[in-house]
Homo-oligomer: A and B are copies of this chain.
């Protein structure tokens, strides 16, 4: 399901969004300002932060009351108790909490640092939380674009996660709509006739990572357009990208 050429474009000119804005509309306006139009097979990678903003998923620090549990954990980690309070509220459980780091399983089942809650690219004095239903957020943008243009695109909501074993963070797909996020090669044969036994590529994560390359962290480019990738269309869900705990050798 690959083509030999693809283009990744960072959409400049998307304004600072506000609660209730239509990201689909803003994307279409940004494209129009660059004299481009949407094409069949386009994939839009939308960074989590603007989703959280239009969905009003942030909290003012002054409104947060830290529980005793949060205060205790914060003390042991040398961290801010209000931040820890929010991290616990947005998680099912803690996976690791040591060396000043807290890794949780979020309410969505994602495993990441701080339940995905941070203070970057938001107004001072506020924390941004992950969208409640990132697949739903992706679906809404997809429907908005469909309504405006009649074109069926794919949408990925991306966020920046660390990972075990490797330094640095990469963008991964926390929400998807209109594409199957995994490409399963198992059972197919390579040119030597070997049957591939374990290869399943997380293409949605690779697309999210590719999008990060044009978005950056300081350039105010919250959306990337990937054109030319022959993705597998369908009703995929970001849940398919989450390893079930019983299969996971590192969640225990």
Contacts and interface: CB of A to CB of B under 8 A. Distances in A.
Interface residues of A, number: 79
Contacts of A169: 199-202
B8 A217 contact: no
Interface string A176-189: 00000111010011
Q: Within the oligomer, what is the number of copies of this chain?
A: 2
Interface in A11-69: 12
A163 interface: yes
Given A196-B120, A250-B164, A6 B4 contact: no
21 contacts: A2-B10, A2-B216, A4-B12, A5-B9, A5-B214, A7-B7, A111-B165, A124-B192, A124-B194, A160-B199, A164-B243, A164-B250, A165-B242, A167-B202, A167-B241, A167-B242, A168-B203, A169-B200, A203-B213, A206-B210, A210-B210
A194 B122 contact: yes
Contacts of A115: none
Nearest to A12: B4
Contacts of A96: 249-250
A123 B192 contact: yes
A121 B75 CA distance: 52
A200 B103 CA distance: 17
A212 B201 contact: yes
Interface string A112-133: 0100000111111000000000
Most B C-beta atoms less than 10 A away, residue of A96, A172, A212: A212
